[in-house]
A and B are shown apart, each in its own frame.
Chain A
Amino acid sequence: MSHDIVLETEALCKYWGGIKALDNMNLAFRANSLHGIVGPNGAGKSTLLNLLCGTYEPTSGRILHNGEAIDSIKPYEFARRGIGRGFQKTNIYPSATCLENCCIAAQRRIGGNFNIFRWRHNDQLLKEIADEALQRVGLGSRRDTVAAKISYGEQRQLEIAMVLATAPSVLLLDEPMAGMGHEESQLIIDLLKNLKSDYCIVLVEHDMDAVFELSDQLTVMVNGQHLVTGTVDEVRDDVRVKEAYLGQGDEVF
């Protein structure tokens, strides 16, 4: 079983001074499945994602990628290992076209980044990768539109396309549906359903319906602590979860 664990944390901690943003987190993320992470505000979900993609350095504990410890490598090396990151706030290149956005993502892998003699617009391979990523998220028709001019929901899709263009094995997504209408959310849900058979996806999301619908594994966090991990049904029936989190009703959101 252990061979299909792609990403793993061992006793992972992150303290900000005396505040324990994340305490003793032991999680395993499996290939070709979607691992949802939920919890009230301040539970440490985003902190966990920031640790997993190298934005923050852990205070203690280890992160293992395919069995190798990667907690001390540089932030850009996470992406090179195939750990792709989508941000909570839309994080794209607004003045470039959608295709160009994906080309930037794909070019890192294709190479020639320091080549000042090679014209940027004439590589078929690069465009094919970028096109494919755009098609995959359903933005094929927006190929030549400037990213700032597409809708908010489409920008979120574009961000996922950019991550896909880097050929990742792990997708870390931080609230991809935040601030979206129902129809737009449904688009992302369909997209993630489609993607989770090929990637290891870690999804932090406030939209409970979406998380319950998508997750193979679900982790509930409260105050930087791990509360419970299991399948959706296990979590839903867990007494502790009901007490700590779901029992409080909707006002936590």
Chain B
Amino acid sequence: MFLTNKTEAWFFWVFFPLALLAPLFLEQNEFYVSKITTVVILAIFVMSLDYLIGRCGMVTLGHSMFYGLGGYLFVMLAPEYETVNFWVYTFYICVIAAAIALIVGVVVLRTSGIYMIMITLAIAQMCFYFFSDSIHWGGNDGLFIYIKPETSIFGLSFFDLDNVTHFYYFCLLSLFNCLVFFRMVLRSRFGRVMDAIRENPQRTTALGYNIFLFRLASYAMASALGAYAGYLFALQYGYVNPSMLSWQLSGTALVMSILGGMGTIYGAIMGTLVYEGLHYSLEHLTEHWLLLMGIFIIALVMLFKSGIAGFLESLLEKRS
């Protein structure tokens, strides 16, 4: 089994069955299904950030750049009034995002700590202003995706992107795959080196590892998945907008990751769910929801020092 501990297994068997059943309860209401789809997409994004921050020790405040690029790359690459293939473009977008991450990473990874936060933020802001100021790419208003891609693979189409429920299940599957993927990475030999680098970079260099290359590979990997999440988001709503590139999104994702428990990977899902759950319920209570939200976040972080996942682990793992 690829699950590392009881808490993760427990979460796994509670979350995924519930998530699978969720649309059945919400069948009458497409709005809610699309709402939880957004949360699932966001969870993919947060998970990729969680890997970077919690597992590689690279604190970035520019991860939304890749989220936004995922959407914008599709608009830039795909012909406007033709139907394209979903899988082909998924491949393009992930590969290009990874290539961009490799270039950006060469600069970013020369720094660490607070300087890394600054430089990732600066690069992401450059990207933000490039798109929000360029008329050709829609400026402040963004661009519409008029025709959604079709999803046939070898002539078989299993689902329809325009169908809200289909799309929800597809996103859930993507989230599941991401979780499995990161678990696999972490328990591989590559993961061993990443753990070593996080814990003691100096020692790891002295053992003969070129830690720069390992960090760069991780950065590209996480960025490609971040772009994939952005691509799904753009397809769900049928438009791209510079706000996808904003640093506020990076910040929110960071909060979600910390809330869930940094470096636990599955904690990213919990963090996203709790944050978005609070967001949604408070939004309906008062227009000053951000104020309440802040109080809740402070309380949660004070209460769960190592995130929700950390708290659950301290409850469940003690007996074993």
Contacts and interface: CB of A to CB of B under 8 A. Distances in A.
Interface of A: 53, 55, 74-80, 84-85, 87, 91-96, 100, 103-105, 107-109, 112-121, 162, 166
Given A91-B200, A96-B195, A96-B199, A166 B207 contact: yes
Interface of B: 184-185, 187-193, 195-196, 199-200, 202-211, 214, 217
A113 B189 CA distance: 5
Contact of B203 (A74, A92, A103): A92
Contact of B184 (A87, A108, A112, A117): A117
Contact of A120 (B191, B202, B214, B217): B191
A76 B190 contact: no
B205 A104 contact: no
Contact of A107 (B193, B202, B206, B217): B193
Provide the main secondary structure of the chain A interface: loop
Contacts of A166: 207-208
Given A93-B196, A93-B200, A116 B208 contact: no
Given A79-B208, A114-B217, A166-B208, A91 B203 contact: yes
Given A87-B203, A104-B196, A119-B188, 8 more contacts: A75-B205, A79-B208, A80-B208, A93-B199, A109-B208, A113-B193, A114-B217, A121-B187
Q: B184, B210, B214: which has the most chain A beta carbons within 10 Å?
A: B210
Nearest to B210: A76
A174 to B, nearest CB: 11
B177 to A, nearest CB: 14
Q: B188, B195, B196, B206: which has the most chain A beta carbons within 10 Å?
A: B206
18 contacts: A53-B206, A75-B205, A79-B205, A79-B206, A79-B207, A84-B206, A85-B206, A87-B206, A91-B202, A96-B199, A100-B192, A108-B209, A113-B190, A115-B189, A116-B188, A118-B189, A120-B189, A120-B192
Contacts of B187: 119-121
Contacts of B204: 104
Contacts of A117: 184, 188
Contact of A112 (B189, B196, B207, B209): B189
Given A107-B192, A108-B208, A113 B214 contact: yes
Contact of A76 (B185, B208, B217): B208
A116 B191 contact: yes
Contact of B188 (A74, A76, A85, A118): A118
Nearest to A159: B203
A115 B190 contact: yes
Q: B188, B199, B211, B217: which has the most chain A beta carbons within 10 Å?
A: B188
5 shortest A-B CB distances, which residue pairs?
Answer: A79-B208, A120-B192, A116-B188, A80-B208, A104-B196
Contacts of A118: 188-189
Contacts of A77: 208
Contacts of B189: 107, 112-113, 115, 118-120
A116 B185 contact: yes
Contacts of A103: 192
A70 B193 CA distance: 25
Contacts of B200: 91-93
Nearest to A105: B207
B199 A94 contact: yes
A108 to B, nearest CB: 5
Contacts of A100: 192
A170 to B, nearest CB: 13
Nearest to A85: B206
Given A91-B200, A95-B199, A116-B184, A104 B206 contact: no
Contacts of A95: 199
B190 A116 contact: yes
